[in-house]
Structures are given as C-alpha cells and as structure tokens.
Amino acid sequence: MRQRAVSIEDIARMAEVSPSTVSRALRDSPLISADVRARIQQLAREVGYTPNSIARSLQARRSNTIGLVVTSIADPFWADVLHGVELAARPAGLSVLLSAAHRDPEQEMLAIELLHQRRVDGILVADSHIGGEYAGRLARVQAPAVLINSQADGQHDLLHSVAVDDYGGARQAVAYLLDLGHQRIGYLGSGSRPRSNRRRREGFRDALAAAGLPADDALVAVTPAGPTESEEDVAGGQALLPRVLAAGATAVFCYNDLFAVGALLACRERGLAVPADLSVVGFDDLHLARYVTPPLTTIRQPKVDLGQQAMQLLLALLNNESVQDLVVTPSLVTRAST
C-alpha cells in the first residue's frame, strides 16, 4: 500500500551526513555551516520531506495539541465558542482535538481520559456536567484544564474556569421587563442545565423581589432534567409557554434563545401578538435571534470571545503563569420582542 514517508535518516543517507546534522540543518541551527545547511534544506525540499510531529512530540514530551470537549457540536452556541477557541489556538501553534459528550457526565469523563491518553497539552471543557464524584479520576489527568460555562457546582480546585454571569444576565433581563411596566413575568427554564438554569432563575427571582413583587411559582415552568439535544429546546419553550400564560403572564424570560423561539412559535399558534400581548426575552443572542419575527430581545453572551478567553487562560496555564478565573458580564440587547 502507501509507502513510508521520507525521514531525516533517509535524507542523511542521501546527503552522506549524520541524522543529527540533518535535524540541525533543517531547524536552521548555526552549529551547521551555511553551505551544508543550504544543501540539506534544498534536498529536503526536493524529496518532499515532511517532519513527523508524532516523533517530535514523543521526544519533546508535548504534543502542541489541546483537547476540547463539548456537549454538542451542532449547537449554535457552542459552535461559536469553538470558533473562538480555534481562533486563539491557531496563532499559538496548537491544534484542536474535538470530542462530543452529549451532556452525559460519564461520556465527558471518558472523553477527557481519552484526551489524556493522547497527551494533549491542555483541555477545554464546555458546559461541563461532571461533579465531585469524578474528582478521583479527574486527579489522574495531568493536563491543565479550563471549564467554559460549567454546569458543575463545587469548583474542583484542580480546574480553572471561564464563565458568563448567569445571575447578573437574568437580573438585567427581568429588570428591563419591569421597567417596561410588566408585573406578571414568567420564566421558562431548562432542567438539563442544573447550574446555569438555577442561577438564571435566582436572578429572575431576585429581580422580582427587588421590585417588591411576590414570587409566584405558577409563573415558573422548567423542562425535565436529563440529557437533551439543543434542538429540543425549541420544543421545550413551545410546550412550556401555555403554563405561564395560564398563570397570567404578560412577559416571559426564557432560559435561552431557542426556548424563546419556541415561545414565539407557541404564540403564533394561539394567535397572540408579540410584543403586544406578550413580551419575550431570550438569552445567548444567537444569530437567529435577529432573524425570527419579531427579532428577539435577549441577553448577549460574547460567545466567540468566551472561547478565546478560555484559550488564553489555558495558554497562560501552559506557561506556568498564575491565572485567575474569569466571569464575564453579558449585556442586554433590545429588539422588537419587548
């Protein structure tokens, strides 16, 4: 089948020098005389030599690779984050190994262990669902790790993190609805994101409390827990909306934009006008938020930036610099759904 690629040793034989000379010549070492260097580089080009990164990695004990484990690649939110990661990894000379974990802690742990076997230099985990019960297994992996918007609660002390302020974002959203004069505001939540859902719900609750409004559980609806694909979010929002409507909501704050889109669809079904009959606010600011009717008021997460920041933090970690966890504050973007 395919013949073996040409190696440094092959070139050494052809040029009648030692492998070490070839190695040095190719990396432009001043130890090698200029003419020999030129001759070898020329020869290498002619025979189409391509260095073998695997051998290099073995000897250097670093792979110039980072691992990224993500819940779902097809999710538009994470796709943007991944994009940011790639953007920051490339100039640093790092390649990205991708794994999907489908919101399942065991799969996530397996993915991390696989990356460790492959000796990645660092690991990025998006939307992590692994909790304390994995601390033991986690301790065995040597690579520094950074979590992006983790769903796990107790901060493992081995891990660093970059996250958006769910609580603050939610308070902004609800405060805005209150400003608009709404008194009965509903919340549509996701049971499959334990931490961020809780934080957003707390922000929702506290914003109401700060305005002196009573908490009314009838105005809160949450999908059941358990692994889901992001596509189900739209259906979730659609299914949940009637409940808060029945409780007399005039506005609804949704866990994310896909829930909000579901809410929009549910409104259309029952002939409700948005924002006239009901105001809708999302979270994330996906691209599609601008394209639905009406365009969605939402809390923007700087998705690409999130990925870049996480990568930067990981890079610092790789340089043995001391780093600090990052919390970024999301911002309200108002459109026509309110």
Partner DNA sequence: CCGGCCACTGCAAACGTTTGCACGCGCACA
Partner DNA sequence: TGTGCGCGTGCAAACGTTTGCAGTGGCCGG
Residues that bind a copy of itself (CB under 8 A): 1-2, 4-5, 48, 50-55, 57-58, 61, 63, 65, 72-76, 79-80, 82-83, 86-87, 90, 95-100, 113-114, 116-119, 140-142, 231, 234, 261, 264-265, 268, 287-288, 291-293, 304, 320
- Our finding on whether 24 is near DNA (CB under 7 A) is yes
Strand ranges (E), 133-245: 145-148, 160-164, 185-189, 220-222
Q: Name the residue nearer to DNA (CB basis): 62 or 270.
A: 62
- Our finding on whether 47 is near DNA (CB under 7 A) is no
- Our finding on whether 7 is near DNA (CB under 7 A) is yes
Q: Which does 17 bind (CB under 5 to 8 A by kind): DNA, a copy of itself, none?
A: DNA
Amino acid occupying residue 173 = A
Q: Which does 234 bind (CB under 5 to 8 A by kind): DNA, a copy of itself, none?
A: a copy of itself
Q: Report whether 25 contacts 49 (CB < 8 A).
A: no
221 vs 190: CA distance, rounded Å: 9
Strand ranges (E), 260-306: 279-284, 297-300
Structure tokens at 180: 């608009």
- Our finding on whether 58 is near DNA (CB under 7 A) is yes
Binder among 28, 31, 118, 133 for DNA (CB under 7 A)? 31
- Our finding on whether 36 is near DNA (CB under 7 A) is yes
Q: Could you give the count of Cα atoms lying within 13 Å of 162 in the half-sphere of its Cβ?
A: 24
Q: Name the residue nearer to DNA (CB basis): 15 or 87.
A: 15
Strand ranges (E), 109-196: 122-126, 145-148, 160-164, 185-189
CB of 86 to DNA, least distance (A): 25
Q: Name the residue nearer to DNA (CB basis): 16 or 217.
A: 16
Q: Name the residue nearer to a copy of itself (CB basis): 119 or 205.
A: 119
Nearest partner of 315 among 56, 117, 85, 73, judged by Cα: 85
Which range, of 20-28, 82-90, 279-287, 305-313, touches DNA by CB under 7 A? 20-28
Strand ranges (E), the chain: 65-70, 95-100, 122-126, 145-148, 160-164, 185-189, 220-222, 251-254, 279-284, 297-300, 326-328, 331-333
Binder among 26, 97, 326, 333 for DNA (CB under 7 A)? 26
CB of 35 to a copy of itself, least distance (A): 26
CB of 51 to DNA, least distance (A): 5
Output the CA angle 119-124-126, nearest 5 degrees: 140
Burial of 41: CB neighbours in 10 Å, binned 0-12, 13-18, 19+:
middle
Q: Which does 288 bind (CB under 5 to 8 A by kind): DNA, a copy of itself, none?
A: a copy of itself
Q: Name the residue nearer to DNA (CB basis): 25 or 234.
A: 25
CB of 100 to a copy of itself, least distance (A): 5
Structure tokens at 193: 């994101």
Which whole-number Å values give the CA distances from 184 to 45, 82, 84, 162, 208, in the listed order? Answer: 72, 37, 38, 33, 9
Cβ partners under 8 Å of residue 74, min gap 6: 229, 230, 231
Instruction: Give the binding site for DNA (CB under 7 A).
Output: 4-5, 7-9, 16-21, 23-24, 26-27, 30-34, 36, 49-52, 55-56, 58-61
